[in-house]
Amino acid sequence: MYQKVKGRTPDKFRNTTAWKKKREEIRQRDMNLCQCCIRNLPGTVSRLTYDNCSVHHAVPLDVDYDKRLDKDNLLLVCSVHHEMCESGAIPYVDVKRIICEQESAHQ
């Protein structure tokens, strides 16, 4: 169950124009490819995975809602790697390193 933060839930946030715009920005930054697959992290089936990709919050919304639109908290990943990021199978430090690489490459 999601914890309410500032009177809003993650589900409501995901329907906002601000999120849709930021999500598209991250998709473009990350070339619409799973950034874990392209780096051949465990769980990779194809290095160029673009199917079933979504934007992952490194710091979850229910932990720090204020980071919800921070591009240095967002990464495009496939469904397999998204679950691995959520469960901690891909550690936060690795996710954060990849985000930093992406940000550095697109400044």
- Residues 17, 18, 19, 21, CA torsion sign: positive
- Each residue's pLDDT tens digit, 9-57: 667 888 899 999 999 999 999 999 999 999 999 999 999 989 999 999 9
How high is the mean pLDDT of the chain? 91
Residue 40 confidence (pLDDT):
96
Residue 3 confidence (pLDDT):
42
SS3 percent helix, strand, coil of the chain, rounded to 5, is 45, 10, 45
Q: Is 104 exposed, middle or buried (0-12, 13-18, 19+ CB in 10 A)?
A: exposed
CA distance 51 to 32: 9
Per-residue pLDDT band at 107 (split at 50, 70, 90): confident
Give pTM, 2 decimals: 0.88
Widest pairwise Cα distance in the chain = 40
Residue 7 confidence (pLDDT):
53
What one-letter code names the amino acid at 103?
Answer: E
- Each residue's pLDDT tens digit, 54-102: 999 999 998 999 999 999 999 999 999 999 999 999 999 999 999 999 9
